[in-house]
Amino acid sequence: MTVRKKALDAYTAVIDDGGYSNLVINKIINDSQFSSEDRALFTEIVYGSISRKLTLEYYLRPFIKTKLKRWQRHLLIVSIYQLEFLDKIPSYAVINEAVEIAKEGGGKQDGNKINAILRSYLREEKQKISDIKNDKKRLSIQYSMPLWIVDHLMRHYSIHEVENILNELLKRPNMYVRVNRKLTSRDELLEKFSREGITALKSDIHENAIIVKGGGITDSNLYREGLFGIQDASSMCVNYALDPSGNELILDACSAPGGKGFHALENMDGHVDFSDIFEHKLTLIDNESKRLKHTNLNILLKDATTDSYDKIYDKIIVDAPCSGLGVVKRKPEIKYNLKKEDIDSLVDIQLSILHHVKEFLKPGGILVYSTCTIHQMENENVAYTFKKQSDDIEFGEFEIPHFKFKGNHRQILPHEFNTDGFFIAKFKKL
């Protein structure tokens, strides 16, 4: 089976079957005998076709004269992505292989249909996105972002800022790793990366952050030895607000996959309780704790909206369930699967968690709320609503040095520092 056929299969698994793009891609790569070049091409076609789905559908629409089967439409989408965005691939190679895939899928007639559409696409003038007069609709098509999300962003940011956000969310993300300070230092880890032929450099965003170039990092001996964890630098900034120290007892209330709790453990001598509502996620935390060689921890199956923790904590992390709009670079299907009405339900859950877990926080203790979204209702709205509804809660102050930030909450936008979009708020219990 060819790279392009496998890319079509992956695209279909995500768009039609609800698969997670990262898991679908990794499974096919692991099950295939790809060369490094084929692996890169496969990944680019799948992520690119999903990321730019609305744009590609806009380009394709005028060339559809007859009814198409769903798999044929998907084949055209992944083919047009290559024609539009992959300059090094000859057009004839894209079309010829698409025709062969169509013949295998439905016979000669289907092959002829795909051939005719793609050749018309190459030959005829395409409709221009710049001709769309409505700014919101234009941005939606240009950056392949559902209109309701564009509309929300336009309510809170200038059109220039919205374009920067949307443009950044189409890019492939940086790979950040977090130094496990219990086992090594950042300088030592950079030296070890260099000796293993891995290109890596310091990130200014957090003192424990390293940017790694290229793939295969989880196949390295350094990963197996537990010298680092994989975590975006924006997420590491939670540690600035939490400021773990000494022998503190900390709860990571919605912890899977555990990065923020592990980061706390790596910067203090205390203890972290990791809790999550999903049992299979607890297994992931347990496996990661063993790889990182952490011992000062418990792993608990808990519903953070209702269950008792049977102890009082010095500090609590609530990395709440959210829409995930800040990590669209990594999981582009999120933006198509999310519905406007989902936000209200998420806000209710987020507030419910905050109100419940604060009962297990000591007076004077710190609660840090975070999300990986850029939706204001889940972020500033939740933070201020929680404070307003809680007589025993006030905002706390923290700093993020590289951002020159000092305050009680910070929305990190993805284009500011080439990270995920992320929100952090700090509270103190009276």
pLDDT band at 249 (very low <50, low <70, confident <90, very high): very high
Ordered domains of the chain (ranges, CATH):
3-123 (1.10.940.10), 133-168 (no CATH), 233-429 (3.40.50.150)
Q: Is 372 a catalytic residue?
A: yes
Q: Is 254 annotated as a binding residue?
A: yes
Residue 98: the pLDDT is: 96
Between 49-53, 103-107, 141-145, the lowest mean confidence (pLDDT) is in 103-107
Q: Is 392 annotated as a binding residue?
A: no
Residue 181: the pLDDT is: 98
pLDDT band at 116 (very low <50, low <70, confident <90, very high): very high
Between 20-24, 215-219, 420-424, the lowest mean confidence (pLDDT) is in 215-219
Q: Is 276 annotated as a binding residue?
A: yes
Is it the case that residue 215 has pLDDT exceeding 90?
Answer: no
pLDDT band at 339 (very low <50, low <70, confident <90, very high): very high
Q: Is 257 annotated as a binding residue?
A: yes
pLDDT band at 23 (very low <50, low <70, confident <90, very high): very high
Q: Is 258 annotated as a binding residue?
A: yes
User: Mean pLDDT over all residues of the chain?
Assistant: 97
0.75 cut: is pTM over it? yes
Q: Is 303 annotated as a binding residue?
A: yes
Q: What is the 3-state secondary structure (H, E, C) of the chain?
A: CCHHHHHHHHHHHHHCCCCCHHHHHHHHHHHCCCCHHHHHHHHHHHHHHHHCHHHHHHHHHHHCCCCCCHHHHHHHHHHHHHHHHCCCCCHHHHHHHHHHHHHHHHCHHHHHHHHHHHHHHHHCCCCCHHHCCCHHHHHHHHCCCCHHHHHHHHHHCCHHHHHHHHHHCCCCCCEEEEECCCCCCHHHHHHHHHHCCCEEEECCCCCCEEEEECCCHHHCHHHHCCCEEECCHHHHCHHHHHCCCCCCEEEECCCCCCHHHHHHHCCCCCEEEEEECCHHHHHHHHHHHHHHCCCCEEEEECCCCCCCCCCCEEEEEEECCCCCHHHCCCCCCHHHHCCCCHHHHHHHHHHHHHHHHHHHEEEEEEEEEEECCCCHHHCHHHHHHHHHHCCCEEECCEEEHHHCEEECEEEECHHHHCCCCEEEEEEEEC
Catalytic residue of the set 149, 238, 367, 372:
372
